Every structure is written in structure tokens, then in C-alpha cells.
Amino acid sequence: MTKYIAIAVLSLALLIPATSNASRYQFEDSRSGALIPGKVYLGVKYGVFHSEQNVGPSDKYDVEMDNLGFVFGGELNDILALEFDYSQTVSADKEVSGGSISKASVDSMGLFLVAKSSGDIYVRGRVGYTRIEIEISDFGTDNIYGLAYGIGAGINVGKGAAFEIEYTVYPETDEFFGVPIAGEIENEFLTVGFVWFYD
């Protein structure tokens, strides 16, 4: 719980200046002393979260979940941004290759540093510290912490809005609900979504 609070507090501390007087905030350029405007942005995304769990030589759980996600971010300059990302499973497979399960879900939360190219069509990459919570009714709930990274592309659609597609790799682990396993648990998330920017 303390890790969730720390991530949320850090996000708010860096983004609170955006709420003073207007939704535009400014950072001082260390070289020129000029003030650089930044934008706050909000996003919603939907996609497939794939979790492949190789827990042993003959035990492989392969499940896909539909996740709905939200993004809250702020631009640091024309290239870099900081964003808070959250997603939650809204529907999932009931059958996996390792057997039948009654419920599976993966929720994710993370703080990312983002680099984005300029132009109406752009590419973006991000890296951050994340937590994913895996719940399988036959086993219980487990949390995995670590670095995640992703790459995506977007296109501006009208003023202050963009359509984006993104692929993110979440942390792997060699433990299954606290027990060391022979293989690894691999997690990846492919999404499409809309982002709204506020000057």
C-alpha cells in the first residue's frame, strides 16, 4: 500500500503546478533561463493484456484479458513528459492452456517517463516503475514490481486530441505467488486509445 501512495504522491507533486490559475504550467530552461510551457493531458485506452506463466516444464498458463486504462500526464518540455498510468481487467478468458480457471485478472499501475517526437504523426517511448496485480482464483493474488517499457505511435486528430497505439512490456518474475518456479511469468499490454491535451 505504501508503494501505491508514494507513486500517487510523486505524480501529484509534479503535476500540481498545472492546476494553478490555468491548466498551463511552466518550467525554467537551465541554459537560457526561458520559461518552457507544458501541457497537461488525460487519456483513456483499451487493449489486450497477455500474461504467459511458465510455472514448470509442463505447466503453462496463457491467458488474455481485456483491460481498460487511464493516463494522467504532464509535459516537462517539447520532448519529455511524466505520466501516471492505471489499467484494470474488465473481461478475461475463463480457460487457459494449463487448465480451467474461474477468474483471472491483471491490474497495472505505474509512473513513466515518456519521450515523444514532434509532428502530427509521432512516435513515443516510455520507461517506468510499475506494479501489476495478478489474481487467479485457483491460486490467489500476487503483486509484481519492477521496470516496464513501451513503444507506441500517435496521430493528432483535431486540436488538442490524438489517437495512439502502444505496446508495453511489464516486469517478469521467476516466482509464482511467492514460490520460485522453473520458468518465468511474462506480461505484455497492447492498447489503442485517445489522449486530450490542455494548454
Predicted confidence at residue 158, as pLDDT, reads: 81
The residue ranking higher by pLDDT, 68 or 59, is 68
Q: Domain limits at 41?
A: 2-198
Predicted confidence at residue 163, as pLDDT, reads: 96
What distances in angstroms separate CA 106 from CA 11, 37, 64, 133, one per listed residue?
A: 22, 36, 10, 5
Predicted confidence at residue 36, as pLDDT, reads: 47
Which set of grid coordinates corresponds to residue 30? Answer: 537551465
pLDDT single digits (tens) 172-181: 877 766 666 6
Question: The domain that contains 172 carries what CATH number?
Answer: 2.40.160.20
Give pTM, 2 decimals. Answer: 0.74
Give me the number of domains the chain comprises: 1
Burial class of residue 21 in the structure, from the number of CB atoms within 10 Å of its CB (0-12 exposed, 13-18 middle, 19+ buried): exposed
pLDDT single digits (tens) 73-122: 999 988 999 999 999 999 876 555 455 555 778 899 999 999 999 989 99
